Amino acid sequence: MKTIDELLAEGVAGKRVFVRADLNVPLDGTTITDDGRIRAVRPTIARLAEAGARVIVASHLGRPKGAPDPAFSLAPAAARLGELLGADVAFATDTVGESATATVAALTDGQVAVIENLRFNAGETAKDDAERGAFAGQLAALADVYVGDGFGAVHRKHASVFDLPARLPHAAGYLIATEVGVLKKLTDEVKRPYAVVLGGAKVSDKLAVIDHLLERADRILVGGGMVFTFLKAQGHEIGSSLVQEDQIPAVREYLERAKERGVEFVLPVDVVVADGFPDLKAKAPTHPETVAADAIPAGRMGLDIGPETGRLYASKLADAATVFWNGPMGVFEHPDYAEGTRAVAQALVDSPGFSVVGGGDSAAAVRILGFDEKAFGHISTGGGASLEYLEGKTLPGLAALED
């Protein structure tokens, strides 16, 4: 995989460099609530601009239906990128139309432009190779060189991720190089004990990675909404908590395999429950109650791991040489149910081992709860991409960057 430093050594001054970034940031209206992904790609964009490239930044945002939708415009991300670069960033109001063509043509050496949300064009996500390839061809006409740096999208076989690199000289940006280096420490170069913390809402989202990690991890700690399927599989009452009944047989199998392989599978000993899901906008106080994990009252919903579990999980992470965490422990967006996620984050901060926060909601939680990002070994920009890499899958966006 060619590096951006090798590309820079060849010279990029005056060249149109297409940077496939991941600017898929959370928005409240037009306000960015977490700019972590923009800050993560800034070094690549800044270095190319400093070297005299004419930088074209492209990304998706959200899930528009293959047509323009103002709610998913990249305009706020382009404005924030300009603030972080300390320079004007031009913005094209389409992807490959008149605005994009004119905006790119107007760039001078060292200038940066962002084109509109790639998913406003159906060709970006098309299953049909020809349709996807046609869009990639239109994107390729805008540029001379391709730099892949949108790690959060490399597990997608999309036009700008998979097809476009084949049409241009290409290299990997700084972010992708860093992400891949970190993931190798979780797969090929693991220091032990190796502990994994998995959370989030659905156990089905994590089954494949659990299957893979049962061959590699020393401990697996489970929290979040997915834990109630595990508790139900053990025969416990879970009240009105989230459960995936169809996944119970698979969960039982994994618990048995963990026992056979000597992998420590750690589940909560207490949980925080309430009468129902809280209002995340109002964030008004609710009436939480901490109960034993095997005694959730009928009609009550589990929304976080309890304080005793937080202490238990911290003890299981204290001596870990490597920790991977993906998925919050509860509904961290509401203060009544954030303490479990806070306890795990603090345990990673306190641990002397190498800690990786696996993107998505986990990365957002770290920032929302006020932790210093530098206190962690690495905060990934791609939750889904990280999980698929750990599952042993070939990621299309990384394969496309191989020479």
Domain spans of the chain, in order of start: 4-177, 187-391
**362 annotated ligand-binding residue:** yes
Q: For helices 36-50 and 174-185, give the axis angle rounded to 10 degrees.
A: 130
Higher local confidence (pLDDT), 384 or 154:
154
**121 annotated ligand-binding residue:** no
Residues of the chain with pLDDT > 90: what percent? 90
Position of tokens 């089954």?
A: 207
**Alpha-carbon torsion (140, 146, 147, 153), positive or negative:** positive
In CATH terms, the fold of domain 4-177 is Rossmann fold (3.40.50)
3-state secondary structure of 331: coil
- pLDDT confidence band for 230 (50 / 70 / 90): very high
The two structure tokens encoding residue 221: 């700690």
Q: What is the mean pLDDT of residues 91-105?
A: 98
The two structure tokens encoding residue 336: 């009544």
Domain 187-391 has CATH 3.40.50.1260: yes
How far apart CA 239 and CA 233 sit, in angstroms, is 14
**99 annotated ligand-binding residue:** no
pLDDT score at 383: 85
pLDDT score at 39: 96
**199 annotated ligand-binding residue:** no
Least confident segment among 136-140, 381-385, 395-399: 381-385
CATH topology match: 4-177 vs 187-391: yes
Give me the chain's average pLDDT, please: 95
Element (H, E) at 371: none
**206 annotated ligand-binding residue:** yes
How far apart CA 315 and CA 330 sit, in angstroms, is 19
3-state secondary structure of 265: strand
**63 annotated ligand-binding residue:** yes
Q: Are 147 and 88 in contact (CB under 8 A)?
A: no
Out of 99-108, 350-359, 360-369, give the one with best mean pLDDT: 99-108
Q: What is the pLDDT of residues 292-320, one digit of tens each?
A: 999 999 999 999 999 999 999 999 999 99
**37 annotated ligand-binding residue:** yes
Strand pairing partners for 198?
Answer: 222, 326
3-state secondary structure of 292: strand
**98 annotated ligand-binding residue:** no
**For the stretch 244-264, what's the b/e string if a residue is b when 16 or more beta carbons lie within 10 angstroms of its beta carbon?**
beebbebbeebbeebeeeebe
DSSP per residue, 53-113: -EEEEE---S---SS--GGG-SHHHHHHHHHHHTS-EEE-SSSSSHHHHHHHHT--TT-EE
Query: Cα 239 to the chain's mean position, in Å?
Result: 31
pLDDT score at 143: 98
Q: What share of the chain is helix, strand, coil (3-state, %, to 5)?
A: 40, 15, 40
Which pTM was predicted?
Answer: 0.89
Q: What is the pLDDT of residues 353-366, one digit of tens each?
A: 999 998 778 998 99
**340 annotated ligand-binding residue:** no
Strand pairing partners for 273?
Answer: 289, 302
Q: Which residues are catalytic?
A: 37, 202, 360, 384
CA dihedral 254, 256, 260, 266 (to 10 degrees): 70
